[in-house]
A and B are shown apart, each in its own frame.
Chain A
Amino acid sequence: MTSTTDLLPAVGTEGGRIRFGPERVLKLDSGAQLPGLEIAYRTYGQLNAAKSNAVLVCHALTLDQHIASEHPLTGKPGWWSQFVGQGRPLDPARHFIICSNVVGGCMGTTGPSSIDPRTGKPFGLSFPMITIADMVRAQALLIDALGIDTLFAVVGGSMGGMQVLQWAADYPDRLYSAVCIAAAARHSAQNIGFHEVGRQAIMADPDWRGGDYASLGVRPEKGLAVARMAAHITYLSEAALQRKFGREMQRDGLSWGFDADFQIESYLRHQGASFVDRFDANSYLYITRAMDYFDLAAGHGGVLAEAFRRARDVRFCVLSFTSDWLYPTAESRSIVRALNAAGARASFVEIETDKGHDAFLLDEPVMKAAVSGFLESAGQSRGIP
């Protein structure tokens, strides 16, 4: 753990964890404050002398800062490994890539499972409510600490895309370009509804213990697993599920019971069971709530274009997927409409795929080509070779 003062040696290495001193209290949208903020982050590549090649990647709900390197808990490759590397949209040979765990997360940044310095016990539900804007505010603190004034790009999918939009609204002078993939400028009733199902599953688990499970040495694994199973369906498309599983059985014949007869059941159970090994239930509650509260236009008189009024000089690339029913193309189109109305430089591509929302995590050649082309040309005009 480092303090802000001895942070600089970390630049160009692989990141670490910064603890912000009392002069850098994180002021939250709720009115609460978060003192003693710690941010865990990873970096890839080197910051150039002009400090003009920094790219901030914003992660989605259940992901983390390990975008292109082995995950410390699962041992799996980084979640966006196919997006980072030579000949890929983000190239450590050219870009200084930063990704930090969001506030409220559970991979090293302060969240509900962190120790509350006032009590010496995990925060649990005494952790303040957080928003997407709070996550972005914390990222800005990190960027300050890394000595970076303007980011070359802020890039993210899903909840990461929401943070990208928030960056453009709150810090338009601190980013040169923005890539927003499979996201929305606000959470829909359906989005909130699915999240509520997940939260209720967690809170219905007797081991949740009113959020105090960590102090009591238990974990609401069943509830969190069910939340993950339900959510996972929303990340895929009907066509993808059908193609992958159909009505394929786990073994010959029916069990005439409630075992996992179908492969899809077994798959979802596995998704749920492996998720609880790497994610904290309270973080799931807090972060899903932050997403539900997200409505970028609300802070701008209900007019989304007003949120982007100061971001006219930012180059935007907005992408959606045809089979994404969680954040459907119409959501991206309304972002683009607002960007147009604000006079911003907006580009938009709807990518044809049957892989659903999670397509942004997959090897989607059209997406990669679009983002590569966009960042390449933005890099040229920014003077990044």
Chain B
Amino acid sequence: MSEIREDFREILRLVRPGSRVLDIGCGEGALLEMLAREKGVDGRGLEISPDGVSACLARGLAVVQGDADRDLADYPSRAFDYAILSQTLQTVREPKRVLAELLRIAERAIVSLPNFGYWRVRLGLLATGRMPMTGALSEPWWATPNIHLCTLRDFTALCDMLAVRIEDSAALADGRQARRMDPSRPIENWRAEHGIFLLSRPGASAPAKAEPAARGDLFGN
């Protein structure tokens, strides 16, 4: 859980104050609430569980029950500055289409996901011959919602395929503070337990325009 909160902290640093944000898979709205409180964002959520949506309503958040695979099509193009997909891409049926949808709906996407290339995962599979279970992947194969796990290299290859620009990325591991990384370096595919990516589509306004919050130091050091 500490990794996830670190993940939120990174997203908070990344999002420009006062921007419009869609949090997809927003759960009970913890991130949206933080974004509203600390960044003054105009936030919306999409959440699959009715209990999650009810919890969001009680927090005063505007959240729609739905799922990323089916309901992103309902949002108009460029309605948001950021579309956030936190630890959810690996659970959707069509990650490629969802990723493309994020960057249709929003100028930028912030995507975080567990790295199946993480050394503990690789070692677990090699040593036991069974589906790895780690802090990030804590459920057995038959119970996990993660149906499209990938490595950082897989993810960057998908971004290349979709001509999506990776503006920034950071690694999270062992609950430590986020560490900025170059996801194309093979070593990162070993040592990052999670990756967070700031993505934009080709032709999106340059990151420099997103002053001051979108400067390169957003992920710390």
Contact = CB atoms under 8 A, between A and B. Distances in A.
Interface of A: 315-317, 333, 336-337, 340-341, 343, 345-352, 366, 369-370, 372-374, 376-378, 380-381
Interchain residue pairs A-B with the least CB separation, the first 9 = A373-B58, A377-B60, A337-B74, A373-B57, A345-B62, A348-B64, A374-B57, A370-B54, A349-B53
A9 B75 CA distance: 48
A336 B53 contact: no
A317 B56 CA distance: 12
B50 interface: yes
Contacts of A352: 50
Interface string B48-86: 001101111111111111100001001110010000000
Interface of B: 44, 50-51, 53-66, 71, 74-76, 79
A337 B54 CA distance: 19
B69 to A, nearest CB: 14
B33 to A, nearest CB: 11
Given A341-B76, A346-B44, 20 more contacts: A340-B64, A340-B75, A341-B75, A341-B79, A345-B44, A347-B61, A347-B63, A348-B63, A348-B65, A349-B53, A349-B57, A349-B65, A366-B54, A373-B54, A373-B55, A373-B58, A374-B57, A377-B58, A377-B60, A378-B60
Contacts of B50: 349-352, 366, 370
B53 A315 contact: no
Contact of B57 (A337, A340, A370): A370
Contacts of B57: 317, 347, 349, 370, 373-374, 377
A345 to B, nearest CB: 4
24 contacts: A315-B62, A316-B62, A333-B66, A333-B74, A340-B75, A340-B76, A341-B76, A347-B57, A347-B62, A348-B53, A348-B64, A348-B65, A349-B54, A349-B57, A350-B50, A351-B50, A366-B54, A369-B54, A373-B59, A374-B57, A374-B58, A377-B60, A377-B61, A378-B60
Contacts of B79: 340-341, 343
Contacts, number: 71
A348 B48 CA distance: 11
A27 B148 CA distance: 59
A162 B66 CA distance: 22
Nearest to B64: A348
A343 B81 CA distance: 13
Contact of B74 (A316, A336, A350, A374): A336
A147 B64 CA distance: 34
A378 B62 CA distance: 11
Contacts of B53: 347-349, 370
Nearest to A352: B50
> Which applies to chain A's interface (DSSP): helix, strand, loop or mixed?
helix
A348 B49 CA distance: 11
Contacts of B51: 366
B127 to A, nearest CB: 43
Contact of A348 (B55, B61, B66): B66
Contacts of B54: 349, 366, 369-370, 373
Nearest to B70: A333
B19 to A, nearest CB: 14
Nearest to A374: B57
Contacts of B71: 333
B67 to A, nearest CB: 11
Nearest to A329: B65
Given A366-B50, A373-B58, A347 B64 contact: yes
B64 A346 contact: yes
A380 B60 contact: yes
Nearest to A315: B62
Contacts of A376: 58
Contacts of A372: 58
B196 to A, nearest CB: 26
Nearest to B42: A345
A341, A380, A381 — most chain B CB neighbours (10 Å): A341
Nearest to A344: B62
Nearest to B62: A345
A132 to B, nearest CB: 24
Contacts of A380: 60
B27 to A, nearest CB: 14
Q: Which among A349, A373, A380 has the highest number of chain B CB atoms within 10 Å?
A: A349
A86 to B, nearest CB: 18
A372 B54 CA distance: 9
Contacts of A317: 57
